Chains A and B, each alone.
Chain A
Amino acid sequence: MAASDVKFLVCLKQVPDSTVRVKVAADGKSIATDGITWSISPYDEYAIELALEHKDGDPSTTVSVVTVGPARSRDALRQALAMGCDDATLVIADDKAGGLDVAKAIAAIVKEAKPDLVLCGKQASDDDQGLVGPALAEALGWPHVGMLTKIAAAGDGVELWREIEGGHEVWSSTLAVVGLVHKSAKEPRYPSLPGIMKAKKKEIPEKDLAALGVTPGAPRAEVIAMEPPPQRGGGKILKADGDVKALAVELARLLHEEAKVL
């Protein structure tokens, strides 16, 4: 990686906050969004944290953020700015824009901004598709590495640490590269109040898909129905009336016949 002036672009998505109890909307194929709290998808937050940690070590680093989504996504970008990102771009698109269209839109932004590293969360916490990152790398013709937990400069390139079962794999790559982030060592930072105030005043330029040369194609996948998981029934409590042996027999019978685990 160059000694200074490294440019990061972090792609983020605004999703329903993890504290929201999601309900299915009246149409039966989307979620009810009335009055819910939105936030940056958690893996994207880790991606921001990784980029900002690099900036902590080298202040010449710039960290830009971009999102493709409806107008409310501006709040997610403000949050990223409050955390310490330098600038943000909002690409206005329908909530239902497909992953490939989103990737194409970001690719157009990348060609303009010419970042050295593009970071995405490994997947968004709402639909869990994990499509945009790899699709973006494909659209750009860049290498991409997934499940990142650490980024370290190495010569002209970069060392990318990815989590595997029981340890880490270290990959090296030339720049530019797309990284899909799994986690950061530190929890994503809490914005300082001056950071929040500064973020409130920052201009966030808005673009639309057409201006980026993206014409939304016909959807390649369609949600047919959505339903909440079944209500969990209450557990069964066996009362011990002194006869422990009978109790054990009954427990074994239930495990065998009803739970079918024995």
Chain B
Amino acid sequence: MIPPTQGLWAIVLLVLTLGAAAVFGYRVLGLYRLLRLGRDEARIDHPWRRLRDELVVYLGQRKLIKRPYYIRGVGHALIFWGFLVITYGSADLFLRGIVGWQMPLTETVAYAWILDVFAVAVLAAVVIAWMRRAFVRPPRMHIVTEGYVILTLIGFLMLTLLTFEAAWFASAERDSLLNLGGDLFRTKTPAEMLASLVPPGAERTLFVGAWWAHVGTILAFAVYLPRTKHLHIVTTLFNVGFRKQTPRGALDLIDDIENKETFGAANIRDFSWKQLLDGYTCTECGRCSDNCPALATGKTLDPQKIVLDIRDQLLREGPKLLGDAKAETTAPAHWVETKPDELWACTTCAACVEACPVTIEHIDKIVDMRRSLTLMEGAAPPEAQRAMTNIERAGNPWGEPRETRGDWAQGLEIPTFAEKPDAEYLYFVGCAASYDRRNQRVARALAAILKSAGVSFAILGAAETCNGDPARRMGNEYLFQLQAQQNIETLNAAAVKKVITSCPHCFNTIANEYPQLGGNYEVVHALPLVKKLLDEKKITMTDGAAAEIVAYHDPCYLGRHNGIYDAPRDVLDAVPGVTRAEIAPHNRERGFCCGAGGGRMWMEEKMGQRVNHRRVDQLLATKSGATKVASGCPYCLIMLEEGVGAKGVQESIKPVDVLELVAARLETN
């Protein structure tokens, strides 16, 4: 396919290309300089995992093709993969048009086939996407003119491509193409089929016109791109490559906190370059908002808005900062966009992070802004302050006496580490199971299971203190570090190697966050441990209780934050007489938060519907006939108890912990 750029025309194309490249480069450089306003952050650990993510998440479109977005996801993947194939062809057009170099294999029937098929697929996907925006507005997706312009440009690119291909097929012999792939591509390509529509005599004019229109559109696209959300086709490559490779549940450490002067994100410079890159990458698809429990229940928080607010503030105030590093920027108390109410509504459930196709990390931004409010301004909500003061003074957010922490174990012959220093496991009980009467029953259930299985374990008793999770998620990094250091000292002094928790928050913090402060232990949540003990036949349960249907509620800090979806289900399935029900579609990675994470347990919830009430609504809506709803988290248990009470269904559906179901059927010898 000889390009229509003989003689002077090659120079015209060269000049146009250089011009477009210069504008593109200038705009991208501008964005890059704004990005560098952010603080430094190293994101080069685990290179192989990063490479894997590029292959699976970027090239493989893994995070797009997910429940409940399968069809839309495939549509996007088609456009994306089509783009890759067509970009290869575009490179060929420009190289050949300017210097006459040919990209390998472009002069083959196979390539013509693949190119044409993708061109048709992209065209179809573009039409569907266009119609979807115009006629079936997806909830919460930002519909902006920009979206239509880009879709139209892409559509026009495909039309011009198919036109000049058809015109070429009308005037040339397919035999001039290398017949790579043999008979596989014997039938006519889509463009070849259209060739008969080309009016005789007009082949050359049509070819040249469509060719230049196509090439011109590509250049226009390049110039327009950096100004739009469609920059994500470039930034996603980097955003995926630089995504967090530490556990999702681990928040970043503020290192050397005693000697720092500012904490958290008080202005745009306090976000890291990666957090700012998240803003450039956001496609405004709204999937995060779709899945946010706070937004779903009428709070002002909207995770997409948080990301876009940061981007908008960067674009608005960044240029001023580039000129004068000390220029005044909007302080949090006067934030134009993000208001503290929005930040405090977050349960850190990670539904947004899970849903985002381009690996944006919402929670870290929200917590960074909370850090500024709490640590710099002392401006946490009063109930949150009370919880923090309680942790400081009593070692638990409820303000229960420090000395009575181990009282739940009285009379159960559970040794403390001081009494049994050679115990294999430490059972880190956590505040909820230590003090909350309902959850004390879960602690006793776990103790009974461990004893029955012959597991060697001990507790810390009054020497245990809050792991710091609520403080950290309320933005009080300082208090978190004090709590963590205290526990690490206690654990190290007792030479603890292995830790069991019955609370996913304790689990997440000790397993994923304590290593930041030098606390390295083998941590296991009770449910995977019980699963293991069942597999090893160390636990036997009696069959005798009446059959019952039990719905499983996924705790966010087991599921989305730590990927533990199956072990609790396996344990539930192993309980004699229990038939498991799912709270579909809000189960597994789409599980809906109970409303208590992120320190929300201790904050009032005045806006909209309570998150736990919505969860109970979802549970009832499944009409599964479940008489119990089982979870593996003390917060979930408290919230579900409150929820079924408020809905007046406490007689027909009882919240329990999976451990209680096992303990009730233990074979007593």
In the assembled complex, the Cα of A197 lies from the Cα of B378 at a distance in Å of 13
Of A37, A187, A192, A195, the contact of B394 (CB 8 Å cutoff): A37
Contact A190–B399 (Cβ < 8 Å): no
Extra 13 A-B pairs, beta carbons < 8 Å, given A21-B401, A194-B261, A194-B376? A17-B394, A19-B400, A19-B402, A20-B403, A187-B382, A187-B385, A190-B389, A191-B378, A192-B378, A193-B257, A193-B478, A194-B375, A195-B378
Contact B478–A196 (Cβ < 8 Å): yes
Determine how close the nearest CB of chain B comes to the CB of A26; give it in whole angstroms: 17
Tell me the B402-426 residues at the A interface (CB within 8 Å): 402-404
Interface status of B263 (Cβ within 8 A of chain A)? yes
Of B375, B382, B399, the contact of A19 (CB 8 Å cutoff): B399
Interface status of A253 (Cβ within 8 A of chain B)? no
In the assembled complex, the Cα of A170 lies from the Cα of B388 at a distance in Å of 35
Tell me the A53-74 residues at the B interface (CB within 8 Å): none
Question: Chain B residues with Cβ under 8 A from A20's Cβ?
Answer: 394, 401-403
Interface status of B386 (Cβ within 8 A of chain A)? yes
Nearest chain A residue, comparing its CB with the CB of B399:
A19
In the assembled complex, the Cα of A197 lies from the Cα of B259 at a distance in Å of 9
Contact A193–B375 (Cβ < 8 Å): yes
Query: 1/0 per position for B586-624, CB-CB distance to A under 8 A?
Result: 000000000000000000000000000000000000000
With A17-B394, A19-B394, A197-B258 given, is the CB distance from A190 to B401 under 8 Å? no
Question: Chain A residues with Cβ under 8 A from B376's Cβ?
Answer: 192-194
Tell me the A29-43 residues at the B interface (CB within 8 Å): 37, 39
Query: 1/0 per position for A172-203, CB-CB distance to B under 8 A?
Result: 00000000000000110111111111000000
Interface status of B33 (Cβ within 8 A of chain A)? no
In the assembled complex, the Cα of A19 lies from the Cα of B386 at a distance in Å of 12
Interface status of A18 (Cβ within 8 A of chain B)? yes
With A39-B393, A197-B258 given, is the CB distance from A190 to B400 under 8 Å? no
B residues contacting the other copy or chain, number (CB 8 A): 25
In the assembled complex, the Cα of A195 lies from the Cα of B380 at a distance in Å of 15
Query: 1/0 per position for A8-27, CB-CB distance to B under 8 A?
Result: 00000000011111000000
Of A21, A39, A187, the contact of B404 (CB 8 Å cutoff): A21
Question: Chain B residues with Cβ under 8 A from A190's Cβ?
Answer: 374, 378, 380, 385, 388-389
Nearest chain B residue, comparing its CB with the CB of A23:
B403
Question: Chain A residues with Cβ under 8 A from B385's Cβ?
Answer: 187, 189-190
In the assembled complex, the Cα of A197 lies from the Cα of B393 at a distance in Å of 18
Total of A-B residue pairs, C-beta within 8 Å: 49
Tell me the B605-647 residues at the A interface (CB within 8 Å): none
In the assembled complex, the Cα of A18 lies from the Cα of B386 at a distance in Å of 12
Question: Chain A residues with Cβ under 8 A from B382's Cβ?
Answer: 186-187
Question: Chain A residues with Cβ under 8 A from B394's Cβ?
Answer: 17, 19-20, 37
Nearest chain B residue, comparing its CB with the CB of A37:
B393
Tell me the B238-279 residues at the A interface (CB within 8 Å): 257-258, 261, 263
Tell me the B494-539 residues at the A interface (CB within 8 Å): none
Determine how close the nearest CB of chain A comes to the CB of B264; give it in whole angstroms: 9
Interface status of B377 (Cβ within 8 A of chain A)? yes
Interface status of B390 (Cβ within 8 A of chain A)? yes
Query: 1/0 per position for A128-139, CB-CB distance to B under 8 A?
Result: 000000000000
Between-chain CB contacts (< 8 Å), 8 pairs? A19-B393, A19-B400, A21-B401, A21-B403, A21-B404, A190-B389, A192-B375, A195-B378
Tell me the B352-399 residues at the A interface (CB within 8 Å): 374-378, 380, 382, 385-386, 388-390, 393-394, 399
In the assembled complex, the Cα of A196 lies from the Cα of B388 at a distance in Å of 15
Nearest chain B residue, comparing its CB with the CB of A186:
B382
Q: Which 6 A-B pairs have the closest CB atoms?
A: A19-B394, A21-B401, A193-B375, A190-B385, A192-B378, A187-B382
Question: Chain A residues with Cβ under 8 A from B401's Cβ?
Answer: 19-21
Nearest chain A residue, comparing its CB with the CB of B386:
A187
Nearest chain A residue, comparing its CB with the CB of B398:
A19
In the assembled complex, the Cα of A114 lies from the Cα of B385 at a distance in Å of 34
Question: Chain B residues with Cβ under 8 A from A189's Cβ?
Answer: 378, 385
With A190-B380, A192-B376, A193-B478 given, is the CB distance from A19 to B390 under 8 Å? yes
In the assembled complex, the Cα of A255 lies from the Cα of B507 at a distance in Å of 49
Question: Chain B residues with Cβ under 8 A from A37's Cβ?
Answer: 393-394, 402
Nearest chain B residue, comparing its CB with the CB of A19:
B394
In the assembled complex, the Cα of A192 lies from the Cα of B479 at a distance in Å of 11
Question: Chain B residues with Cβ under 8 A from A194's Cβ?
Answer: 261, 375-376
